[in-house]
Amino acid sequence: MHRAEIPRHKGVLSGLADAARRNRALEEQLATLRREHDDLRRTMYEAAQVQRKLCGPRLLRREPFEIASEIFPVRHLSGDFISVLELGTDLVFAIGDIAGKGLSAGMWFTHVVGMVRLQIAALGSPAAALAAINRDLLQTRLELPLTSLLLARLTLNTGEITYCNAGHPPALLFRDDGHVENLQEGGPLLGALVGACFANGRTTLRPGDTLLGYSDGIAECRNENGAEFGAERLAAAAQGSGRSTASGALFSVLGAVEDFAGSQPREDDMALIVVRRAHE
């Protein structure tokens, strides 16, 4: 080897060594990013499980009543929520939708669900509870997202339901004789208006009746052609479940939504609650 080639050879070896060091550094950075990504996914999964636990049981039976519910976040954490709790000898259930989706809406989830449980336990009346929640949301001055919410109290020994609907899609009450009623009495979205008025509506869940509450993510679910599932298909799916249990009606509706959407990805969170009174 000529003497002139030795420096060039050393330079090539040095360059290769530098490239190898850079590659090792990049591989270490990629490995760190993968670990952080895995940790983030695990944390988001755990947070989603906490959200579901805060919604209460997926299935609650208090003869002759049965409540089934489910939430389906589109981005790990849900802005839609459900709350089911016992209040004395009554059952309280709520379904709501915090504007937005993903982490931002999910971070307000626990705050709003906590307020619902606190105020209904303290005040008893759904309308009074929603008025208090609306006031508290506006007084925080934290620019909380607007929230729609249907809050209801079921008296077990009579089947009477006292409810208040704050800007949420009206729940559907399917009578055993085939008639359908909308639960729309209430007031505006929570966090929208200072001093907003909220009113209670009342109805009775009679033997064989089924109440279905849903978020707009279900009605507005689209298929490959851009068509929306809509309230009519929702009602048809619920009525098609016949004399099914609350769980059966819930899965009948969810199955109809999935079949309608086909391969089209969901664009919004979904929540569904079914309250069923069995024949006596």
pLDDT of residue 115: 93
| Cα 215 from Cα 224, distance rounded (Å) | 21
Q: What pLDDT was estimated at residue 266?
A: 82
- Would you say residue 125 has pLDDT above 60? yes
Domain boundaries, the chain: 1-53, 55-277
55-277 CATH = 3.60.40.10
pLDDT digits (tens, 9 = 90+) for 15-63: 677 777 888 888 888 777 787 766 666 666 666 666 677 677 889 999 8
Helix (H, G, I), strand (E, B) or coil at 279: coil
Question: Which residues, other chains included, contact 256 with Cβ-Cβ below 8 Å and sequence gap of 6+?
Answer: 229, 233, 234, 236, 237, 240
Q: Taking the model in full, what pTM does it have?
A: 0.83
User: Would you put residue 209 in left (φ > 0), alpha (ψ -120 to 50) or beta?
Assistant: beta
165 to each of 17, 44, 196, how far by Cα in Å? Answer: 69, 31, 13
Lowest-confidence segment of 83-92, 180-189, 265-274 by average pLDDT: 265-274
- Supply the pLDDT for residue 238: 87
Q: How far out from the chain centre does Cα 128 lie? A: 23
The pLDDT tens digits of the residues spanning 202-260 come to: 999 999 999 999 999 999 999 999 999 998 899 898 887 766 799 999 999 999 999 99
**pLDDT the model gives residue 17:** 74
